[in-house]
Amino acid sequence: MASAEIVRQTLIIEISRKRVKRLYLGNTSDTNHSVILPDDVLDKILAFLPIKKAMQIGILSSRFNHSWIFSRRLHFDNDFARGRSPENFKSMVNKVFDQHAGSSILSFRLSFDADGEGFLVEKWIKKAIEKGVEELELLFYVIGINFEGGGPVKLISDVYDVESIKILKLSFCQLDLPPEFKGLHFLSTLVLRKIIVTPTLIDNLFLNCLLLETLDIAQCYRIFHLKISTQNLKKFKELKVGDCPEILMIDIDAPTLHAIHYCGHVCFIKFTNIPEVKDVMLNFGPSKGFTGTFQVRNLVYDLYNIRVLTTTSTFLEGLTPKFMGGTLTEMQFSFWNLIEFHLIMEGAMYCNPYDIVSFLKNCQYLEKIFIDLKDFNFVCGPYWELRNRQAFEQSHVSFHNLKFIKLYGFKFQKDELLLVKFLLGSAPGLEKLVLITPNKSRRVKVVTLNLQGFYQDIQSWKASSRVEIAVFEHSNDRSSVSPMHSKTWY
């Protein structure tokens, strides 16, 4: 199958020359690689473009007037709907399905206000199923009706009997997986949005979809206790749970799991058997009060073997030293295999520079550190002055593997500079420090600083003689290194 780049180059040349038959594959400047492609071959190449692009090419060149009828990517999403009335949108989707002449449909994507349109939706889904659709994405919504108010679209039972579907993405659907169903045996990815998720649904999913690799649940309801038990699944690698407001507890027993991503309020997460987990996001939202140690203690013990961690200051608050028997006691833990740490400072009530340092000293083999300060300002009150400042100044650790540090939303404030000073002095092999100033559209206080004087101060802070210091404005970040995870994925 032709690569996307070859297809792009081919189409550019064909459209510019209209009826000219000679097309170049690969390097278009090398005429020795030119070939003549017959119309049926070009139709097959065009079939891999999204339907909107295929139709646009048909308008530009009469040679491709009917190529869109062979399209294998029927993407009727927001991009397709742009500039169309609801009636025109439905008419165009009907036209494509009525005239579709291809032998198969690779992917069917529908973003649609389905209120009162159940017959049409059922017709389109059945047509896609008949042609062996492998990727089915149904993003429904009802204008003026919220999820709790009612009206999710009932998914037709035909979907449960399809063998060809490998990727299934659903939003605002009523999903009723029966205890046993004939299809979805090759399902590898399931993405659910704005859907009622019950324990029975999860149990039936794991019982029947034995090739499942990714389960992504976000903005879903009726999830109070999510139980993930995948002992029978040999390929299950990724679990994502985000912004499910009613969730209280998550139990995970998944021996093949590699990645866990969680976004939402602090809840109890219990791990039973996760020996392969290396990639973790714990994006805990701000707590109403101080985050208790008991809410995060087991997480650091169970996840000791991970390599990448993205988390928030709320998580760090739960790990700060606590008074036990009248003595201020630090938790003892280690992340010996952690090579990338991404900290999002958002909504913290008590977090100060020492809280960050006391965590980092348990991660001595780090290679990359990312800290997103954004609008955050350290609250360094009496507790900091009486206890944490001295502990911070007496902290000594060497990050011999640390090569890269990046701080977003850096305002050159006093406590931020203290943190930079510590990091520079603790990384003898550091190669680059990148500071990104805040977004100018946000109302944040940025200290007016003489950058030349700042660079002079840094010379006395750094333990590495070869470190490069770069400062970029938010809108002009030219550094090429970014954290593995963004703040959210949905």
pLDDT digits (tens, 9 = 90+) for 72-84: 999 999 999 999 9
Q: Specify the 3-state DSSP secondary structure of 204.
A: helix
292-296: which pairs have CB atoms within 8 A and are 24 or more residues apart?
292/318, 293/318, 293/319, 293/322, 293/331, 295/266, 295/268, 296/266
319 against 132, higher pLDDT: 132
Q: Is the pLDDT of residue 137 over 70?
A: yes
| Topology (CATH level 3) of domain 278-489 | 3.80.10
d(CA 478, CA 484): 17
- Report CA-CA distances (Å) from 281 to 81, 226, 292, 395, 478: 34, 17, 19, 27, 25
Q: What is the mean pLDDT of residues 242-263?
A: 97
The angle subtended at Cα 451 by Cα 351 and Cα 445, nearest 5°, is 40
Q: What is the mean pLDDT of residues 118-147?
A: 86
- Report CA-CA distances (Å) from 287 to 226, 295, 336, 361: 21, 11, 28, 25
d(CA 188, CA 185): 9
The neighbouring-strand residues paired with 482 are none
**Could you tell me the pLDDT band of residue 118, with boundaries at 50, 70 and 90?**
confident
d(CA 84, CA 86): 6
Q: Specify the 3-state DSSP secondary structure of 263.
A: strand
What's the N-to-C CA distance of the chain in angstroms?
31
Query: What is the pTM (predicted TM-score) of this model?
Result: 0.86
The neighbouring-strand residues paired with 225 are 249
DSSP state, residue 387: I
Cβ atoms of 278 and 308 closer than 8 Å: yes
d(CA 133, CA 125): 9
Cβ atoms of 366 and 402 closer than 8 Å: yes
Q: Is the pLDDT of residue 25 over 50?
A: no
The predicted pLDDT at position 442 comes to 61
Q: In sequence order, what are the residues at sequence separation of 6 or more whose Cβ sits closer than 8 angstroms to the Cβ of residue 141?
A: 111, 112, 113, 114, 171, 172
Query: Hey, where are the domains in the chain?
Result: 278-489
d(CA 361, CA 379): 21
**Could you tell me the pLDDT band of residue 320, with boundaries at 50, 70 and 90?**
confident
Q: What is the mean pLDDT of the chain?
A: 85
Q: With the CA atoms of 203, 208, 212 and 218 taken in that order, what torsion angle do they form, in degrees rounded to the nearest 10?
A: -40
Instruction: Pick the range with the lowest mean pLDDT from 29-38, 59-68, 92-101, 247-256.
Output: 29-38
Q: What is the mean pLDDT of residues 292-311?
A: 87
Two tokens, residue 146: 């919220």
56 against 227, higher pLDDT: 227
